[in-house]
Amino acid sequence: MQSLDLHGLKIGVVIPAYRVEKHIAQVIRGIPQQIRTIIVVVDASPDRTRSVVEELADPRVTLIVHERNQGVGGAMVTGFKEALRQELDIVVKMDGDDQMDPVHLPRLLAPLLSGECDMTKCNRYSSLGSLKQMPIIRVIGNTGLTFLVKLASGYWNTFDPANGYIALRTPVLERVDLDALPRRYFFESGFLIELGIQRAVVQDIAAPARYGDEKSSLSVTKTLFEFPPKLVYGFLRRIFWRYFVHDFSAVSLYLLLGLPLVLFGVGYALWWVGSHAGDATVAPAGDVMMSAMPIILGVQLLLQAAALDIQTAPSRPIAPPLRRRETEQTRIPPRTHLQ
């Protein structure tokens, strides 16, 4: 952190904490002293996580306790709201299991400080060494998930969407409906989709994770069945808002023409097969062309729409330039309360 000028800026870390009594103290101690605000959201954890945080007595910590478990997304929504209440300029998300090394904080913050982007996100796939540190089941799962999240969010230039080590400008949070964000493990992917709708600029930062004796409570089977429908819904929402509400472009036209053509061609083929079931009638050339041509033309239009969508990934930050405070403002005092 010594190489970054944080003077006049309010930067904080939000830590969603659940069953991390063995790691949370080390996580908090590892956050550099230049970071003067740490918001810990204990999400109805049944272990001693809350007690450990209180025993640390770190003056930088704002402790919030959920009486009912709301998932990592619910904890982050609470943390984001507190970050806005404390008028932070930049907020960083770090998990409480000590997998996210604070040594990467300078590289996460640098593009935000220079105004290059609205959010930075760590990418564990940046090198072969990083991949070797990851359990193989996570590599396989994240590879398939990555393409689906790219499609749903429009961030074709990013990778490792499940990585929750992020930093972002708080003005971006003001443009997002926080209460509508996913509450469970779909939070990271759902948040990317919301940022895609807002056209925020997201930049990957190469950073491996640290894996120790912590256990992930994310079920692979549950992810395979729950994530795809949510990603499809997120994709449809992004397309609707991006190309039919916020803007109307060539992509909008290609979609309006291509999708009906494909549906007509497929529907006509199914109708013909159904109406001639049980006989040996060979489809006339005219009927074949009546089905094939709309499908071919429609697919070409949809492919062109996808190509343009990839080319038009967000490139201009939506957050205003940072304004450094000339004098140190009175810090909003930490608080401990139940939610």
Domain assignment present for 272: yes
Domain assignment present for 89: yes
Tell me which residue range forms the domain holding 305.
250-311
Domain assignment present for 333: yes
Residue given tokens 């996570």 in the structure block: 138
> What is each CA distance from 294 to 15, 273, 286, in whole angstroms?
52, 17, 13
**228, 257: one domain:** no
**139, 195: one domain:** yes
Stated pTM of the model: 0.86
* Dist CA 313 CA 279 (whole Å): 51
Q: What is the CATH number of the domain that holds 76?
A: 3.90.550.10
Going by C-alpha positions, the residue among 24, 16, 30 that lies closest to residue 53 is 24
**141, 221: one domain:** yes
Domain assignment present for 4: no
**70, 197: one domain:** yes
* Dist CA 131 CA 59 (whole Å): 37
**295, 157: one domain:** no
- Please state whether 69 falls in left (phi above 0), alpha (psi between -120 and 50) or beta: beta
**167, 301: one domain:** no
SS3 content of the chain, % helix, strand, coil (to 5): 50, 10, 40
Q: Tens of pLDDT along the chain (339 residues)?
A: 656 778 889 999 999 999 999 999 999 999 999 999 999 999 999 999 999 999 999 999 999 999 999 999 999 999 999 999 999 999 999 999 988 999 999 999 999 999 999 999 998 877 666 666 666 766 676 777 888 999 999 999 888 887 889 999 999 999 999 999 998 888 999 999 999 999 999 999 988 766 655 555 555 666 777 888 999 999 999 999 999 999 999 999 999 999 999 999 999 999 998 888 777 778 889 889 999 999 999 999 999 999 999 998 888 999 999 988 765 544 555 566 666
**45, 148: one domain:** yes
- Predicted local confidence at residue 211, as pLDDT: 64
- Single-letter residue type at 329: Q
Domain assignment present for 1: no
Q: Is residue 93 a contact partner of residue 105, using CB atoms and an 8 Å limit?
A: no
**154, 43: one domain:** yes
Domain assignment present for 195: yes
Alpha helix stretches (DSSP H) within 31-89: 49-56, 71-85
Domain assignment present for 3: no
**191, 307: one domain:** no
Q: Is residue 107 a contact partner of residue 203, using CB atoms and an 8 Å limit?
A: no
Cα dihedral sign, 159-161-163-166: positive
> What is each CA distance from 211 to 67, 75, 123, 126, 140, in whole angstroms?
29, 22, 15, 16, 17
**Structure-token pair, residue 96:** 């409480």
Looking at the structure of the chain, the number of domains it has is: 2
**305, 165: one domain:** no
**42, 122: one domain:** yes
* Dist CA 273 CA 262 (whole Å): 17
**282, 204: one domain:** no
Domain assignment present for 48: yes
Other CB atoms within a 10 A radius of the CB of residue 4 amount to 16
Q: Is residue 322 a contact partner of residue 9, using CB atoms and an 8 Å limit?
A: yes
